[in-house]
Structure 1
Amino acid sequence: MEILTSNNIWMMVCTALVFLMHLGFAFLEIGLTRQKNTLNILFKNIFIITIGLLLYCLIGFNLMYPGFEEGSFGIIGFSGFGLDAPLNSEGVIDLTYNSGYTYWTEFLFQGMFAATAATIVSGAVAERMKISAFMIFTLVYIGLIYPIAGSWKWGGGFLHMRDVPFYDFAGSTLVHSVGGWAALVTVCLLGARIGKYKDGKPQAIPGHNIPLATAGVLILWFGWFGFNGGSVLSAEPGATSLVLVTTSLAASAGGIVCVLFSTLKYKNFDLTMFLNGILGGLVAITAGADQMSPLDAIYIGGIGGIIIVFAVSFIDKLKLDDPVGAIAVHLICGIWGTLAVGLFGNLASLSQFISQLIGILAYAALCIISSFIIIYSLKKTIGIRVTKKEELEGLDAHEHGMVAYPDFRLNEH
């Protein structure tokens, strides 16, 4: 019972840390965008975590962990609506669920992950997507698509059933790329912000509060200790400590290498690239944080930092307007981190690399097709983009009827 209590306490602490990541995402997104859209972004982030937990309770958890029967295809299953804690032989709730923590802790920890996928999309489509369209997208993507995707690996589905199972420790693909693919599709269908591209060349649209964005990244790094540390699924000292070390080293290497390459390429010390390099390192190590040595983590994070520099530039050349760099960070570094499991660490082998590639392609197919159907349907019905006037004057005033930073001098007598 003492071991169970220790594990459960650690998992609850990690749940709280992952919850805090939503504050980090909110700060990062509003910091890197314009003042006139601050409330809109905050509203989306609050909506995501609240509706996400409700949907995960009602259908998501049992879609993600359906208990695939032996001989099934392991593609989709459902074990019923709502939460129903397992009972022991005496009809009392079984506290030893999953051999380490309670059923309720499992639900809440995984529920925090579910909401993160839609948060990634929020940043990429900032400043020009209708709030109503985004809310409907979130309902479907968090309620149905993310849990089905999660079931393929974490729920014991077909990617887990392989002779060499696909491996994704804490979600480089299952969380970050699942959100990243949807972000890519939505940005393509939505189009760029007014003024972002002039004569085919990208124009800088500075964020209004870089200190807040910096705070957001530091909060996200802090929350990642729960994101990756909790994915050990116990408080086992050796495994947990290693994961926290590899996570921090990858983040550090990602930031340093990114800012060095960025400075060489653009001849200035760009703080926003530094910040996204840290996030790229964190996303990259997430797939194999428990399988890597400290040196492996530095390699993986450092390469993630290089990827950020060139991915951001490449995405701009494609005229894909991503205000916060979500596609580069979460999708491209997520793919890199997933492939890295087959190249570095304890699982490195050709067969593992192939398994990782198959998993990436499977998730790409699911997420691209499903997000295209959702967003394209919304585009043809209620529309997904605000009017030119609304975009120029700001979504806060038009969609929310207020502003984040009122000028109190206007009310002085």
Structure 2
Amino acid sequence: MTSIVKPKSSKSRNHRKTNRYTAASWLPRIPKKWRRLSPSLWACIPLAALIVALWSTAASAQEQELTPEYVQGVLNTIWIVVASILVIFMNAGFGMLETGFCRQKNAVNILSKNLIVFALATLIYWAVGFSFMYGQGGGFIGGGGWFLSSGDPATYGLAPFPEGLPIPVSFLFQVAFAATAATIVSGAVAERVRFSAFIVFSLLLVGISYAITGHWTWGGGWLNNVGGGFQDFAGSTIVHSVGGWAALMGAYWIGPRTGKYEDGRPQAIPGHNMSLATLGCLILWIGWFGFNPGSELAATPNVPYIAVTTNLSAAAGGVAATITSAIKDGKPDISMIINGILGGLVAITAGCDAMTYAGAAITGVIAGVLVVFAVPFFDSVLKIDDPVGAISVHLVNGAWGTIAVAFPFFTQSGSTADFLAQIIGILSIGLFTVVLSSIFWLVLKATLGIRVSEDEEKEGLDIGEHGMEAYHGFIKEASK
């Protein structure tokens, strides 16, 4: 049988002819050695030209101001913008981590919360939070310059440029930290919280509670005058413990997931994707190099030192958690390895600028051990259902790291914090966050409601809250 081959349409041929003509019209004009460049390198040419043009313009405009102080100010500004981006990118890490640790039927819900929380934090912190935290006021709360309306750096406790950072850069860096506190809560209340309730709580936490306790410390408030002054360089307590306390109250008031406890005994509810959780951990680890070194708030020789102490504590935390979980449970648990690394990162955050290398490693080792025992303590003893271990990582190790700064054999000579001031800071910030968070959760419980129905929880929040599936079309094991 003779096969019949249809002739190609004149339209397609015309297209090919046009393409050949177009290519021939310009390719010969380009030197052959240039044609070997990849498309990505070609794309860099206009970008490089733009940078050179902008730099030339800026240099011409500031020709009389190119002093060493001005150049240093520009370097400080660029570095803090980069650090801000790294901290913002941590939201992706939180999203991957929490999604992997939870069941597949709640993946869309968890991703949605972690995505929207930064948007929410940006808006509320822009409106009132930044002013409450850094605005001029008493020892309890700041104020003024709402919506970044003031052009005077002193309004937000900043020195004029180039000695201090520009207002927009300072805001960008600080709002990334504020969002982290709210993101921590997401994991502890996962798989049963109402999306609308979480949104409102995040606004209240970032705009009011976090901003007020932040003013007590970084905003020049009353905790700086207690004893030798409360020290928390990058936020073990100010950011992480605050998020941990708020998460603890959320998990308590919302209650455990359906089926978590039978006859008073906790039942394992495994996460659905440890690959995502591991990726999330690595993203967070990378992001912490903006979190801690960026808190230097300048491009100084101390930045790489802080990066090394941060990395040492994370590594030591992961190794310690691996060994501890293997001894305790018979086999190393990947979830404990992940939380051990994160625990080490949280713990070093308070003293990453002051710790010796050995002190940083010891801080991480203790953090890794603490995580392994803290998770079952909250799960079995206190009956607090925390699907991702956020309370153990951020609350427990946030407190531990803040205390560790007061141990002289952990820190460089002359940089030891006042032990009493550290304890007062941890307890006062914790108590205030517990009270205010409880008020927020209880008001939401009485109005919007903070928990989905039992049917929605069993079906999954992806369907109940969002009307979609994360893995539509894939063969999935039936959700329990």
Question: 1:294-345: CA deviations, max 9, x gaps?
Answer: 0000010100011001101111112111000000000000000001111131
Q: Which residue of 1 aligns with 2:337?
A: 274
**Secondary structure in structure 1 of the residue aligned to 2:119:** helix
1:22 aligns with 2:91: yes
After TM superposition, the structure 1 = structure 2 runs for residues 37-56 of structure 1, keeping only pairs within 5 Å, are 37-56=106-125
Contact 2:230 2:417 in 1 (8 A): no
Contact 1:255 1:275 in 2 (8 A): yes
Q: Which residue of 2 aligns with 1:174?
A: 238
1:84 to 1:380, Cα distance in 2 relative to 1, 3 A: closer
C-alpha distance in 2, partners of 1:310/1:46? 31
C-alpha distance in 2, partners of 1:399/1:215? 26
> Could you tell me the TM-score, scaled by structure 1's length?
0.94
Match of 2:288 among 208, 224, 236: 224
1:205 to 1:347, Cα distance in 2 relative to 1, 3 A: farther
Contact 2:178 2:239 in 1 (8 A): yes
Question: 1:22-50: CA deviations, max 9, x gaps?
Answer: 00000000010011001111111111100
1:194 Cα deviation after fit: 1.1
C-alpha distance in 2, partners of 1:75/1:146? 12
Q: Which amino acid is the alignment partner of residue 290 of structure 1?
A: D
C-alpha distance in 1, partners of 2:446/2:141? 28
C-alpha distance in 1, partners of 2:265/2:227? 48
After TM superposition, the structure 1 = structure 2 runs for residues 80-229 of structure 1, keeping only pairs within 5 Å, are 80-87=145-152, 96-97=160-161, 99-229=163-293
1:110 Cα deviation after fit: 0.2
C-alpha distance in 2, partners of 1:125/1:409? 27
Contact 2:227 2:418 in 1 (8 A): no
C-alpha distance in 1, partners of 2:254/2:120? 23
After TM superposition, the structure 1 = structure 2 runs for residues 229-244 of structure 1, keeping only pairs within 5 Å, are 229-237=293-301, 239-244=302-307
Q: Which residue of 2 aligns with 1:329?
A: 393
Cα RMSD (Å) of the superposition? 1.9
After TM superposition, the structure 1 = structure 2 runs for residues 236-385 of structure 1, keeping only pairs within 5 Å, are 236-237=300-301, 239-317=302-380, 318-343=382-407, 344-346=410-412, 352-385=418-451
1:66 to 1:95, Cα distance in 2 relative to 1, 3 A: closer
C-alpha distance in 2, partners of 1:348/1:373? 41
> Could you tell me the TM-score, scaled by structure 2's length?
0.81
1:207 to 1:348, Cα distance in 2 relative to 1, 3 A: farther
Q: Which amino acid is the alignment partner of residue 16 of structure 1?
A: I
Contact 1:21 1:220 in 2 (8 A): yes
Contact 2:209 2:433 in 1 (8 A): yes
Contact 1:124 1:324 in 2 (8 A): yes
1:133 Cα deviation after fit: 1.0
1:174 to 1:95, Cα distance in 2 relative to 1, 3 A: closer
Question: 1:116-147: CA deviations, max 9, x gaps?
Answer: 11100000000001111111111111111111
Give the ranges of 4+ consecutive aligned residues of structure 1 lying more than 3 Å apart after TM superposition.
84-88, 94-98, 346-351
Paired positions, count = 401
Q: Which deviates more from structure 2 when the two are superposed, residues 189-198 or residues 23-32? A: 189-198
Match of 2:457 among 355, 372, 391: 391
1:103 Cα deviation after fit: 1.4
Contact 1:341 1:348 in 2 (8 A): no
**Secondary structure in structure 1 of the residue aligned to 2:148:** coil
**Secondary structure in structure 2 of the residue aligned to 1:152:** helix
Greater length-normalized contact order (CA 8 Å, ≥ 6 residues apart): 1
Contact 2:405 2:416 in 1 (8 A): no
Contact 1:342 1:348 in 2 (8 A): no
Stretches of structure 2 that go unaligned for 5 or more consecutive residues are 1-69
Contact 1:95 1:103 in 2 (8 A): no
1:67 Cα deviation after fit: 2.2
C-alpha distance in 2, partners of 1:190/1:347? 46
Question: 1:163-212: CA deviations, max 9, x gaps?
Answer: 41100000000000001001111111111111112222221111111001
Q: Which deviates more from structure 2 when the two are superposed, residues 138-147 or residues 283-292? A: 138-147
Q: Which residue of 1 aligns with 2:19?
A: none
C-alpha distance in 1, partners of 2:159/2:78? 13
C-alpha distance in 2, partners of 1:191/1:34? 18
C-alpha distance in 2, partners of 1:221/1:100? 28
Q: Which amino acid is the alignment partner of residue 143 of structure 1?
A: G
Match of 2:104 among 7, 14, 35: 35
1:7 aligns with 2:73: no
Q: Which of the two has higher C-alpha Rg?
A: 2
Question: 1:44-71: CA deviations, max 9, x gaps?
Answer: 1111100110111111111100224xxx
